[in-house]
Amino acid sequence: MITFLILQKSKSTLTIINDRLHEGGFFIMSLILICGLISLFLIFRGFLSLRKSGKNIDKHIRLINAIGLFVLVLGVFGQLLKLIVTLDNLHFQDNATVNELAGGLKYTMLPTLFGCFFFLVGRFFTIILSWLSVNK
């Protein structure tokens, strides 16, 4: 465990993020990242809209929730695709070990984890936006 932390500290943060994007499947992870960034932009825009006039805040909340749900489902879809590929590779391998299975399962969970992160961030900020719009 300590050697893992030492190896991780020697890499830059962007290198680690890039490695995780490739490990989780670059296409699906890129789509999740793009949708997550759009969601963060809408959250920022929602706070600006709330600060100025408070109009269209419900529209921002609905869009953030819809994108968050889409990102979550996209992550699960990416996990299922990656799981099928991993199990096919292990099926056609003669002497598959438990370590190979565990490594493959780790890689299949990355899109779901990434999608859950953006889903939870979106939900958290929509709760805050809703609370602030009611109090305004």
Domain boundaries, the chain: 23-135
Is this prediction's pTM over 0.85? no
Task: Give me the pLDDT at residue 3, please.
Answer: 57
Task: Give me the pLDDT at residue 21, please.
Answer: 83
Task: Give me the pLDDT at residue 95, please.
Answer: 82
Instruction: Find all residues with CB under 8 Å of 105, minimum gap 6, and list them.
Output: 83, 86
Q: Average pLDDT by consecutive 10-residue portion of the chain (136 residues)?
A: 58 81 87 95 92 83 95 95 88 82 86 95 95 82
Task: Give me the pLDDT at residue 134, please.
Answer: 83
The type of residue at 14 is: L
